[in-house]
Amino acid sequence: MRVYSEAEEEYIYLWVEDNGIGIAEKLQERIFGLFDRLHGQEVYLGTGIGLAIAKKGVDRMGGAIGLESTLGTGTRFWVKLRKCEC
């Protein structure tokens, strides 16, 4: 797993990469749904709420969340947030 960030003029991108099984393109939006699991508990542990909570939090901050994935190679999740003018 690899976690890193990139800064642009107005936004910060957070990236999380893995080398897992990947996610088919037709199923990618589904993984952000509450309790919408792609595999059963016997294959992969989890509750199906983690990515739904992440999406809700990012949405509330005015950001965006998504992924890039290739079957058999892994997935790269990204979070885009506006820089704070603190």
**Mind listing the pLDDT tens digit for each residue in 23-68?**
777 777 777 776 555 555 555 555 667 888 999 999 999 999 999 9
**pTM for the predicted model, two decimal places:** 0.77
pLDDT at 8 over 60: yes
Q: How far apart are CA 55 and CA 73, in angstroms?
A: 23
Query: Which among 73, 59, 71, 76 has a CA at the least distance from the CA of 6?
Result: 76
Query: What SS3 state is found at 30?
Result: helix
Q: What is the pLDDT of residue 61?
A: 94
Domain boundaries, the chain: 2-82
Does the pLDDT of residue 5 top 70, yes or no?
yes
Task: Give the pLDDT score at 36.
Answer: 58
The CATH H-level superfamily of 2-82 is Histidine kinase-like ATPase, C-terminal domain (3.30.565.10)
Does 30 or 14 have the greater pLDDT score?
A: 14
